[in-house]
Amino acid sequence: MSKRFRMSTALDVDDLLMECIPYAVRLANEKYKFDPPLTIYEFDKWGKLGTRADVVFEFFDDPEFFKNQPVIEGAKEFVRKLFKMTEVFISTSIVPKFMGIRAERILEEFPEIPPEHIYMGSRKDKLNVDILFDDGMHNVFKSNAAYPILMRKPWNQSATGVLAVNNYDEFLKLVEVITSSYSIKSDDGSEPQIVVLVGPSGSGKTLIAKKLLESSDKFEKLVSYTTSDPTVKVKNDWYNYVSKAKFFKMMEEGEFFESTMYAGHGYGSKKSDVEKIINDKKIVLAAMDICGAMSLKTNFSNVATVYVKRDKRGLLASILEKNCSNEDKVSRIVSIDDERRNEEICDYVVESRDIDTAAENIIEFLNIKK
């Protein structure tokens, strides 16, 4: 796709620009006095769950709910910034009887958006835009947009392999990368501070990372945190393994600068760990999904992303040989095609057929002196 024209972005409304689930949770707690209080983390899937959380759906049939939905903090400034980068459209799924209320709220809160740019209906797969930004997994998976991007929420944490971000800043950074011929290599030939290897499961990211560590003492690996998989007997030394309860507690307390879910497991990294490596005059070496890579680009400067490419047969063979559950393997396999589009938005691409050559190419590309 050419990047010379002005691209178009369609934005969801509920839980992207205006609070929906969090607002309904507050209303439910006020009305029913839940003890302990209902939280958004009880919504680990979209739709009725057969739990006490289902009570929020009663508010979705009340016009006052849609008249009073709070605008998410930072949403207005986010839309203004995005308007400078792409054309902006609204794509919102709402029942017909509340469409008028929704349109009035959008025009009131986001006056930059022309009325003719507001589309209402659940068939977002029919939209002809370059970028879709939505918190609904079903909308992202079915989208015909060139770049469907998921806003991470508790109810979509099982999504695997899609472009995903945690906040507005990460999305804007991703749009910047998509809409420009971005390259990290500086004119003065300086080394990057951070190198991130991105690629599907089984692409060889970890093997290449190990070879880079062997090839140059300038690299230091970033050890991330992940939730324990009881089926895995041999632990990966690129991760600190914690329980899901501990992982989500670390998320809530803001210990991670990025966190994501992949194949049902949580992954997160601490900003303090990255800063320590940089302060030690080392190059941070990380192997992450594209969500983590964009978080690094958002939070740090001089970040190089390298897409590790491998043929599909090789990916499948590697995944099937992994020491993990069958459910985990299935999740990794179904995400292959979605992840391969990330090649377009990485700074460099290497083939993993020869690990030694791939590592040498990365060192050469990035002007790293051994």
Confidence tier at 231 by pLDDT (50, 70, 90): low
**CATH code, domain with 135:** 3.40.50.1000
- Tell whether 35 and 97 lie within a shared domain: yes
Whether 81 and 216 share a structural domain: no
pLDDT value, residue 264: 64
- The residue among 129, 145, 179 that closes a domain is 179
pLDDT confidence band for 335 (50 / 70 / 90): confident
Same structural domain, 351 and 222: yes
For residue 183, the model assigns a pLDDT of 45
Say how many domains are in the chain: 2
CB 294 within 8 A of CB 342: no
pLDDT at 4 over 90: no
> Could you check whether the bond before residue 192 is cis, i.e. omega within 30 degrees of 0?
no
By 3-state DSSP, what share of the chain in percent is helix, strand and coil, each rounded to 5? 45, 20, 35
**Please, are residues 346 and 307 in contact by the beta-carbon 8 Å criterion?**
yes
Q: What is the per-residue DSSP string for 82-104?
A: HHTTSEEEEEE---GGGHHHHHH
205's tokens: 């990211």
Whether 223 and 172 map to the same domain: the answer is no
Torsion region of 349: left, alpha or beta (phi above 0 gives left; psi -120 to 50 gives alpha): beta
Cα(212)–Cα(286) distance, rounded to whole angstroms?
Answer: 11
Residues 150 and 229 in one domain: no
| Domain-located, residue 184 | no
Per the structure block, which two tokens stand in for 128? 């002809």
**Does 88 lie in the same domain as 15?**
yes
Query: Are 142 and 210 within one domain?
Result: no
| 130, 277: one domain | no
Residues linked to residue 14 through DSSP beta bridges, in sequence order: 18
Beta bridge partners of 304: 195
Cα atoms in the Cβ-side hemisphere of radius 13 Å centred on 129: 26
Domain boundary (133, 156, 179) is at 179
Single residue among 149, 179, 209 that ends a domain in this structure: 179
Q: For residues 59 and 203, what is the distance between their CA atoms, to the nearest angstrom?
A: 46
Has residue 1 been placed in a domain? no
* 352 shares a domain with 236: yes
CATH number for the domain that contains residue 331: 3.40.50.300
User: pLDDT tens digits for 260-312?
Assistant: 766 567 888 988 999 999 999 999 999 988 878 888 888 888 899 999 998 88
Answer yes or no: are the C-beta atoms of 287 and 205 closer than 8 Å. Answer: yes
Strand partners, 239: 224
Indicate whether 3 belongs to any domain.
Answer: no
3-state secondary structure of 303: strand
**Which residues have C-beta within 8 Å of that of residue 7, sequence separation ≥ 6?**
85, 86, 87, 130, 131, 175, 178, 179
CA-CA distance, 94 to 241, in Å (whole number)?
Answer: 41
Q: Are residues 169 and 228 in the same domain?
A: no
CB neighbour class for 337 (10 Å; exposed up to 12, middle 13-18, buried from 19): exposed
Residue 185 included in any domain: no
Return the residue matching tokens 């050419």.
Answer: 2
On the question of pLDDT at 185 being above 50, the answer is no
Average pLDDT estimate for 325-331: 78
Enter the pTM of the model.
0.74
Query: Scanning the structure block, which residue is given the tokens 């020869």?
Result: 354
The one-letter code for the residue type at 216 is S
Structural domain boundaries, residue 215:
194-365
Residues 161 and 338: their CA atoms lie apart, in Å, by: 6
Shared domain for 142 and 276, answered yes or no, is no
Residue 94, in any domain of the structure:
yes
* Helical H segments across 62-219, by residue range: 63-68, 75-83, 99-109, 137-142, 168-179, 205-215
What digits encode the pLDDT tens for the residues 78-130?
999 999 999 999 999 999 999 999 999 999 999 999 999 999 999 998 899 99
- Answer whether residue 39 is part of any domain: yes
- Mean pLDDT (whole number) for 218-225: 92
Inside any domain, residue 264: yes
For residue 370, being part of any structural domain is answered with no
CA torsion sign for 155, 121, 146, 10 is: negative
CA distance 81 to 293: 21
Average pLDDT in the 5-31 region?
95
Kindly state whether residues 221 and 284 are assigned to the same domain: yes
Q: What is the DSSP string of 320-359?
A: HTSSS-HHHHHHHHHTHHHHHGGGGGSSEEEE-SSHHHHH
